[in-house]
Amino acid sequence: MKLLDGLRVVSTAVNLPGPAACARLRDLGARVAKVEPPGGDPLEGFAPAWYRRLSDGMDVRRLDLKGEQGARDLDALLAAADLLVTAQRASALARLRLDARSLAERHPRLCSLAITGHAPPHEEKAGHDLTYLAAHGLLAPPALPATLFADMAGAERAVSTALALIHARDRDGRGRSATVPLDDAAAFLAQPLAEGLTRRGGPLGGGLAAYNLYEAREGWIAVAALEPHFARRLAEAFGLQELTRDALAARFAAQSAAHWERWALERDLPIVAVRLPSP
């Protein structure tokens, strides 16, 4: 569904989450011009296949925004755009005259979305996904996170904020600006932990037998029979009066994870085999 057909986006954001956010806007129908520095997007070196998927269908250009010609070329793109997505520090945007005030002077209908590490007054503070998660208690050392949680949550937050900016602009014709701090996205992800739901021993942190991980004869399974009707159905299937970790562990150990996934599908139970990351 091309719900954003006709929307024109320009992005100077590299790495993540800017390219992920722009890929979502593209998938919704927006036309995206991605401006990379002369050396390209570092993501291409880390994950070339993913970089290609994220950039597919975009007008990718390499411009030196510090030079006069590059700045003019970018300004020409912005003159016809609805939205600019950036991921540079505020001081860098000011030097490039891509800060909200400068953009409003040259392109009053343009909306701008700045993806930052931290909210003002700490927008110049260095950080990355790992440090945002660490600051909000979302790491379990020495293991590294299985994905870039703050970056990907920030990408989705950037999309929703961008759509809100465009909606407001379309009401009165005046461009608007907003920031999306990734540290705020990490804080949002940490709310279930802060409220005790996912703390160790909390309801969704191992405290409920029906919402837990179990080792099968081969592999592991995730059991999420949280709602009462799921819990009752699971207990009845095993002939149990009460769901306890020991009782479920004994039963699940008897068959493979693949078996239990098929078994659960037949009974409309939320149980799946745990897929481990590829080595």
Q: In what order do the strands lie in the sheet with 111-116?
A: 59-62, 31-36, 8-11, 83-86, 111-116, 177-181
pTM given for the model: 0.93
| Gap between the Cα atoms of 112 and 103, Å rounded | 8
| Gap between the Cα atoms of 158 and 138, Å rounded | 21
The label of the residue with tokens 């992920």 reads 20
Query: Given this model, what pLDDT does residue 22 score?
Result: 98
Query: Given this model, what pLDDT does residue 278 score?
Result: 75
| Gap between the Cα atoms of 230 and 212, Å rounded | 14
Report the candidate in 22, 26, 33 with the shortest Cα–Cα distance to residue 4. 26
Residues of the chain with pLDDT under 50: none
CB 260 within 8 A of CB 273: yes
Domains of the chain and CATH, by start: 8-192 (3.40.50.10540), 203-273 (3.30.1540.10)
| Gap between the Cα atoms of 48 and 79, Å rounded | 31
123-160: pLDDT as tens digits: 999 999 999 999 999 999 999 999 999 999 999 999 99
CB 229 within 8 A of CB 270: no
Query: Given this model, what pLDDT does residue 188 score?
Result: 98
